[in-house]
Copies of this chain bind each other. A is one copy, B any other.
Amino acid sequence: MAGYQKIMKKEISKKCENDRDDCPVKDVLNRVGDKWSMLTVIMLSDHGTLRFNELHRLIDGISQRMLTVTLKTLEADGLLKRKMYQQIPPKVEYTLTSLGESLVVPLMTLYDWANAHMPAIKAARAKFGKAAAT
């Protein structure tokens, strides 16, 4: 393993050992790891700007409540911005901030890893299931 990664490993471990309620990775994973945030970020990254109901239609299966909740926490974290138009019927547009766009990069890395190693993981699961059944 490269020297850089060795140094980072030490650091990551130290942070999470001593400071476990304030570990930034845990914090970020709590956001990104929920059911809808990542999908929302990806949709906005792909389509640029979207209205509430456009997102609702695009993200298959999300309820109105979960969409508002997800959008609110993403907005609170500064990952997207809301633009309201004072008109009837209401119109609100959502767009990723540059912070939100920058999150797409590490997400991509994770996507690459997941995509590359999914077959290995599925094989391991199948094998484990068989071993447990024996």
Contact surface of A with B, Cβ cutoff 8 Å = 1, 5, 8-10, 12-13, 16-17, 20, 24-30, 32-34, 38-39, 42-43, 45-46, 58, 60-61, 75-79, 99, 101-115, 117-118, 120-121, 123-125, 127-129
**Closest beta carbon of chain B to A70's beta carbon, Å:** 14
How long is the Cα–Cα vector from A124 to B81 in the complex, in angstroms? 11
Cβ–Cβ contact B104 & A25, under 8 A: no
Cβ–Cβ contact A111 & B10, under 8 A: no
Residues of B within 8 A of A77 (CB): 121, 124-125
How long is the Cα–Cα vector from A30 to B76 in the complex, in angstroms? 23
Residues of B within 8 A of A118 (CB): 24, 27-28
Sampled A-B contacts (14; CB under 8 Å): A5-B105, A9-B42, A9-B108, A17-B60, A26-B39, A29-B29, A30-B33, A76-B128, A76-B129, A77-B124, A77-B125, A78-B128, A106-B110, A106-B113
Copies in the complex: 2
Residues of B within 8 A of A101 (CB): 1
Cβ–Cβ contact B27 & A114, under 8 A: yes
Q: Given known contacts A60-B20, A78-B121, A99-B121, is B108 in contact with A110 (CB within 8 Å)?
A: no
